[in-house]
């Protein structure tokens, strides 16, 4: 299959971590649905596995899908149905074909939006596997060595290495502003930043209307600006509404509808709170943290450049945390893990908790300042969290991790692993 699939692979394709999940799903299921924000590389990755395709963002293909869906589904398998949400009636056709054909790996569907009527909610179980593709991580782009592997951390290994001293804080700021968009690879920094800025503006003007939501582009832009100001925080709906106030704040249900629309096109991806049993009487906070699919969108809405981030370390720190969460989410896919955050009523919090389906977990603090006293404080926070969990949950702890922008990777005497983001990998 790999040799034949190569004829569809787009020039410049770089392997994606989510591709491992797609490859596994094609061996087990009749179809795979690859979802994700527009421009994250779904078509590029899907073509790496597909042997034929139909592009449903093409008018002629859409007419054929309506008049003769059987013809659209014909062709060498896996058959790629790109932007399938433009012809949502094909979902049930694909499901039936998966029932009728005995072999797995029949179809790959890609989509940049959830259909408004949510046709996938109750069908496809056991036939269609879902894979979320995000923008590229630093490791996938080639800006991280991947020496500190998430898998190795889950296996309990300690990793020590010296990183390239040529990597500076400004390089991290540039990575945040340019983002992990495949189409920007090889472009100059100025062109990449301009491209992200254009994309951020198009989201409110173009992307949401095509998903069937009536809205004011100006208000959507104000919501995106508010999320940018509150990125990596537990900003409540009332806070977002207050930031959008242009004489009178929008109604809560209006903000909720716009926020849901941004989620449906995968532009916003919240980071849920971790649910865990504690020894103490502290109450867990349940609010999700707000993040964009890529921190570059927040940077674009804030009109941030690498130089401006370097002069505003508060904003830089929030966007750096969002960058780390993006990469941890990508690396965790291969481990079948989910990235949460932790905060309780006693003020104890962890920026990220990566939990696998087997219950093992890693707690991480993300620090823009990598001075020894800051790392010491972060390590103490993580150790407090370990001691605060029940004995059973503490036993399933795989690692405590402090993520920095630059510097060496090493295991501290107290067992806390320190690693720069440019050393993290799957």
> In the listed set 117, 132, 147, which residue is the last one of a domain according to the structure?
132
330 plus 354 within the same structural domain: yes
> In the listed set 115, 132, 149, which residue is the last one of a domain according to the structure?
132
Torsion, CA 207, CA 213, CA 215, CA 220, rounded to 10: -50
24 plus 159 within the same structural domain: no
CA distance 227 to 212: 22
- How far is C-alpha 342 from the geometric centre of its chain's CA atoms? 18
121 plus 145 within the same structural domain: no
151 plus 104 within the same structural domain: no
Give the count of domains, the chain: 2
109 plus 170 within the same structural domain: no
- Does residue 95 sit in helix, strand or coil? helix
167 plus 274 within the same structural domain: yes
- Measuring CA to CA, which residue among 49, 101, 102 is closest to residue 80? 49
Burial 108-131 (b: 16+ CB within 10 A, else e): bbbbbbbbeeebbeeebeebbbeb
173 plus 229 within the same structural domain: yes
Q: Report CA-CA distances (Å) from 164 to 146, 186, 405.
A: 13, 21, 12
103 exposure class (CB count in 10 Å sphere: 0-12, 13-18, 19+): exposed
Domain with 57, as residue range(s), is 2-132
CA distance 103 to 362: 38
CA distance 252 to 222: 14
106 plus 147 within the same structural domain: no
- Give the contacts of 287 (CB within 8 A, at least 6 positions apart): 234, 236, 273
Q: List, in sequence order, every residue forming a beta bridge with 129; answer none if it has no partner.
A: 32
Torsion, CA 39, CA 44, CA 50, CA 56, rounded to 10: 40
H/E element, 107:
strand 107-111
CA distance 421 to 175: 11
Would you give per-residue pLDDT tens digits along the chain (426 residues)? 333 444 465 566 789 999 999 999 999 999 999 999 999 999 999 999 999 999 998 999 999 999 998 899 999 999 999 999 999 999 999 999 999 988 999 999 999 888 765 666 555 566 899 999 999 999 999 999 999 999 999 999 998 888 767 789 999 999 999 999 999 999 999 999 999 999 999 998 877 765 555 678 888 999 999 999 999 999 998 899 888 877 677 888 888 989 999 999 999 999 999 988 777 767 788 899 999 999 999 999 999 999 999 999 999 999 999 999 999 999 999 899 999 999 988 889 999 999 999 999 999 999 999 999 999 999 999 999 999 988 888 899 999 999 999 999 999 999 999 999 999 999
Rg, the chain, Cα only: 22
112 plus 91 within the same structural domain: yes
308 plus 171 within the same structural domain: yes
> In the listed set 81, 98, 132, which residue is the last one of a domain according to the structure?
132
DSSP letter string, 274-335? PP--BSS-PPBP-PPBP-BSSHHHHHHHTT--HHHHHT-HHHHHHHHHHHHHHHHHHHHHTT
């Amino acid at each position: 299959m790999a040799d034949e699939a190569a004829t569809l692979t787009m020039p410049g394709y770089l392997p994606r971590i989510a591709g491992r999940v797609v490859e596994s799903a094609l061996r087990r299921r009749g179809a795979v649905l690859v979802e994700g924000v527009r421009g994250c590389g779904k078509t590029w990755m899907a073509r790496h596995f597909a042997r034929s395709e139909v592009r449903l963002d093409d008018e002629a293909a859409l007419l054929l899908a309506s008049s003769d869906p059987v013809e659209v589904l014909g062709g060498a398998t896996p058959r790629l149905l790109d932007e399938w949400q433009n012809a949502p009636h094909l979902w049930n056709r694909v499901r039936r074909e998966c029932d009728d054909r005995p072999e797995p790996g029949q179809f790959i569907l890609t989509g940049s939006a959830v259909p408004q009527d949510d046709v996938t909610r109750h069908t496809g179980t056991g036939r269609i596997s879902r894979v979320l593709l995000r923008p590229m991580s630093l490791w996938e782009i080639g800006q991280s060595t991947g020496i500190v592997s998430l898998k190795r951390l889950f296996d309990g290994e300690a990793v020590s290495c010296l990183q390239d001293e040529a990597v500076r804080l400004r390089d991290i700021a540039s990575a945040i502003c340019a983002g992990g968009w495949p189409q920007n690879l090889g472009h100059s920094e100025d062109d990449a930043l301009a491209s992200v800025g254009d994309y951020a503006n198009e989201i409110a003007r173009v992307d949401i209307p095509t998903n069937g939501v009536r809205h004011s582009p100006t208000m959507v832009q104000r919501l995106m600006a508010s999320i940018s100001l509150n990125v990596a925080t537990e900003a409540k709906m009332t806070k977002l509404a207050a930031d959008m106030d242009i004489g009178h704040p929008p109604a809560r249900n209006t903000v909720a509808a716009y926020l849901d629309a941004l989620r449906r096109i995968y532009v916003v991806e919240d980071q849920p709170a971790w649910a865990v049993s504690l020894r103490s009487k502290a109450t867990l906070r349940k609010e999700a943290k707000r993040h964009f699919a890529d921190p570059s969108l927040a940077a674009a809405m804030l009109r941030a450049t690498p130089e401006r981030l370097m002069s505003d370390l508060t904003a830089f720190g929030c966007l750096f945390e969002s960058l780390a969460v993006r990469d941890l989410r990508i690396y965790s896919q291969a481990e079948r893990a989910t990235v949460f955050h932790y905060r309780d009523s006693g003020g104890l919090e962890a920026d990220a908790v990566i939990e696998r389906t087997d219950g093992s977990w890693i707690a991480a603090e993300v620090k823009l300042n990598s001075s020894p006293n800051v790392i010491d404080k972060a390590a103490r926070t993580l150790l407090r969290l370990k001691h605060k969990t029940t004995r059973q949950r503490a036993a399933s702890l795989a690692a405590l991790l402090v993520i920095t922008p630059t510097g060496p990777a090493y295991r501290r005497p107290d067992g806390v692993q320190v690693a720069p983001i440019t050393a993290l990998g799957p």
